[in-house]
Chains A and B, each alone.
Chain A
Amino acid sequence: MSTDGKVERRTLLRLALAVPAAGALASCAKPASKAAPAAQTGSKVDGTKALEFFNFDGGYGKAWTQMPLDLYRQEFPKADVKLTSGQKLQQQLQPRFIQGNPPDLIENVGLDAAALASQKQLMDIGALLEMESFDQPGVKVKDTLLPGVAEAGRYDGVKYEMPYVFGVAGIWYSQPLMDKHGWTYPKHWDEMLALCAEIKKAGIAPWTYQGKFPGYLTSPMLMTAYKAAGPDLKKKIDNLEPNAWRDPALIAAAEGYQELVSKGYLLEGSQALSHTQSQTYWAQGKAVFIPCGGWLENELGAIAPKDLGMTMVPVPGLSSADKAPFETVTGGPGGALIVPAQAKNPQGGIELLRIITSKKCMRNFTELTKSLSVVKGASDGVALSSANKSMQKVIDEAGTNIFLDWSFRLWYKKLLDNSDKAMAALMNREVTPDEWSKRMQKFADETAKDPSIKKFHA
C-alpha cells in the first residue's frame, strides 16, 4: 500500500488478538498427529557457523531482535551471531547479493522480492512450516500461525517470504468528531458524496490524502471498484488481462474519487501534502476522512490529541448493486523475512526464523512495537487503543473477505509506479476518468508485452 510496504504490517496485531481461543484449540488438537512427527529442528544447522541477521531499522526498530538472537546464541554457543541494521536495503545489500555474500536472514523493506525470487536469489523456506515450533512442543510452525500466513509470501507457489506482522488498511475518522455532528459513515460512494456536502457546509474539509505519494489514494479507489465489480476484477487486473482496466466499475470509481476534487471536498492543497503533513491536518480535525494503514496511530505519535478517538472503517463500495460486501478490506500478514539463496548459513537463517516465529518472541515483538504479530495468541493480554480496537472490529467483520493487496502492486514495480502517476493526473483533473482507465490499460499492456519483466499469475 504505502511505497515502503509498511502498510500491511501493523494490523496483524488485531487478528492475533481475535484468535487466541482458536490458537488454544489448535494446540490441543495437535498431539494427535504425533505419529507424523514434525520435521526435526536444529539437526541440519551447523552450530559453529557464523550467522548474520540484517534488520530494517524502521518503524519497528531493532530492540525486538535482541530476544531471538539471544535464544540462538544459547542454542549454538559456538556460533558468531551478528546483527546488522539499516534503512536503505537496496543500496546496502545489492552489492552483497552481487558478490554472493548476502546476510543469512533479512528483514526486507526495500528490496524487490519478486525480482529476487525470479532471479533465484531466495531460499525456499517452505520446510520451516513443517518444522516443530520453537516453544510449542509437538506443534508444527504452520499450525501456530494465523490464517493466511503460511500462504502469504509465495511466488509461483514457492514460499520465499515469512511475514511477521498483521494489519489492515482502510479509511480513518475521529469518532468524537462524527458523533458531535451526528454523521454516520456511509457504505456506498453516492452516500459518501452526500455526506461530504453536509461536512463541507459545517466548514470542515471532508477528505484529505497523502498527495505527495498518490498511491495512498489508489488503494481505496481500487477497493471501491473491487466492491462494485466483485473478486473477478482483481484477478483480471493482476493477470494483466486485456481490457481489465477498462472495466466500468473502475471508471465509475475513478469518477467518484475525482468528484472529491471537482466538488471541492478535498482539503485545499492535499495534492501537494506529504504523508506527515496531511495526517497532521487530519489529526487536527481539518479534514474528516483520510485513507491509511494500521500504522497511522504509531506514525502520528504525540501529534494525535488524546481524545481523537481514531477509528478505522472499510472503504465505501460504489452502490447498492455491489458484488462484494462492504466489509471487504485489504490486509493480513505483512512484512517479509527472507533467506538469501546464496547465504553462507541458510539453515541458520531458517533456524533463527523458527525462533522469531515462536510465541515468546512474537509476544515480545508485540509488547515492544505495539503491533500484532502472525502467531496465534501471541498478543494475549496486551492493552488495545481505540484505533486498534476499531481495526480488530474491521478484521472480525471482514471474516474471509480480506485480501493482502492487489498483486500487480507487488509483482510489477513499474506498473505500480505508473498507477501512482495516473492517480496524480486524475486528482489534478488533467485526465478524465475514462482517460485514466485508458492510460492504465496502456501501462498494463506494456507490462504484459515486455519480455524482460517476469510474469506471475494469480
Chain B
Amino acid sequence: MHHGKYRFVFSLLLVPVGLYAVFVISPYLQAFSIALTDWQGMTADSHFIGFDNFVKLFHDPVFWTALRHNVFLLVSIPLVIVSLSLFFSAMLNYQGGVPGSRIYKVVYFFPSVLSIAVVGVLWQFVFEPRNGLLNGFLQAVGLGDLKQIWLGDGKTALGSIMAVVVWGGVGFYVVLFTAAMSAIPRDLYEAALLDGAGPWQSFWRLTLPLIWGSVQVAIAYLVIGALDMFALVQVLSVGPGGPDDATQVISLYMYTNAFTYGNFGYAAAIGVALFAINLILTLLTFRLTRRERVEY
C-alpha cells in the first residue's frame, strides 16, 4: 500500500517541481556559467573568459559602493524594524492590549497590502521637494529649516529610501510578533508577577526569549530583503541609483550592467557574488541569533 501512496504524492509534485526546476533552478545554475563568459546578450555566442569578470568586479569601485550601501542597510533595517515592531507589539499586548489595539493592528498592516511599486510611487509624492507632504509638513509645523531635497541630495537619499522600507515593513512584523506573543500562556506572566517582575523585566526575561524563534526569522528575512532593495531604489532614486551612486545597490548595479550596458556576463558575475554574500549572511544570521530553545 505504501508504495502506492508515494507514487501518488510523487505524481502530484512532479508538475510544480518540474516548473520550479525549469524556471528557477536552471536559470540560477546557468548564471554561474554565464558569469564566466563575455556574453553581451544579443546573440547566442559568447566566449569563455575564466574568472576575468570576477577580477574586474573586485576592482570595480561602483560595486564596492553598492556593497557598502547594502551592508549599511542590512545592519540598520533589521535593527530598526525589529526594535520598532517589538515595541509596538509589546504595547499591543501589554496587559491585554492598550485601548484600540485591534484597530492599530489593522492600521499597522496597511502598508503590507500595497505592492512595492505602489509604495514607491506614493513616496515619490511624499518626498517631492516643492509640494511634497514631508517638506510641506515641516513647513507647516514651523520646522522649515529642516526641509531637504531628500532623494535629490546624496546625504539624505539613502536614508530616505530606508525610511520607506521601515514604514512598509514594520506592520508585517508587528502582526508576526503579536501572534507569537499571544501564544505565550498567561500563567507564565502571572507567575512572573508573583515573583515580583515588572513589565520591563517580564518583556526581557519572558516575552523575548519565548518569541525568539519569530525574531530570528524576522531578522533573516530582513537581511535578505536589505540585500535586494531593487524595486524601491529603481522607482524612487535619482538616476536611478543616484545622485552619483548615493543609493546604488548591488541588485540595481547588476540590472544596469545587463540591460543598460549590455554586459550580461558581468551582470551574471555580480549575481553570483550577491548569491555568495546572501548565503554567508543567512548562515551567519542563524548562527549569531541561535539560542537555547525554550519549551513551554
Using a CB–CB cutoff of 8 Å, the interface residues on chain A facing chain B are 90-91, 94, 97-100, 112, 115-116, 119-121, 211-214, 267-274, 277, 281, 413-414, 417, 420-422, 424-425, 428, 430, 452
Contacts and interface: CB of A to CB of B under 8 A. Distances in A.
Contacts of A268: 129-130
B42 A269 contact: no
B43 A430 contact: no
* Interface footprint category on B: 20 to 34
Contacts, number: 101
B38 A452 contact: yes
Nearest to B128: A277
Which 3 residue pairs spanning A and B have beta carbons closest together? A272-B152, A269-B129, A271-B152
Contact of B262 (A100, A115, A270): A115
28 contacts: A98-B41, A98-B43, A112-B42, A112-B262, A119-B42, A121-B43, A214-B238, A214-B239, A214-B242, A269-B129, A269-B149, A271-B153, A272-B129, A272-B151, A272-B238, A273-B128, A274-B124, A277-B128, A281-B130, A414-B261, A420-B242, A421-B239, A424-B238, A424-B244, A425-B243, A430-B154, A430-B243, A452-B263
Contacts of A274: 124
Contacts of A212: 151-152, 238-239
Interface of B: 38, 40-44, 124, 127-130, 135, 149-154, 238-239, 242-245, 256, 259-263
A420 B239 contact: yes
Contacts of A97: 42-43
Nearest to A415: B261
A94 B152 contact: no
Contacts of B242: 214, 420-421, 424
A169 B245 CA distance: 27
Contacts of A281: 130
B152 A211 contact: yes
Given A94-B42, A121-B43, A211 B261 contact: no
B134 to A, nearest CB: 11
A309 B243 CA distance: 33
A5 to B, nearest CB: 13
Contact of B42 (A115, A425, A452): A115
A428 B153 contact: yes
Nearest to A91: B259
A174 to B, nearest CB: 19
B244 A430 contact: yes
A157 to B, nearest CB: 21
B153 A100 contact: no
A116 B146 CA distance: 49
Contacts of B262: 112, 115, 413
B239 A272 contact: no
A452 B150 CA distance: 37
B259 to A, nearest CB: 5
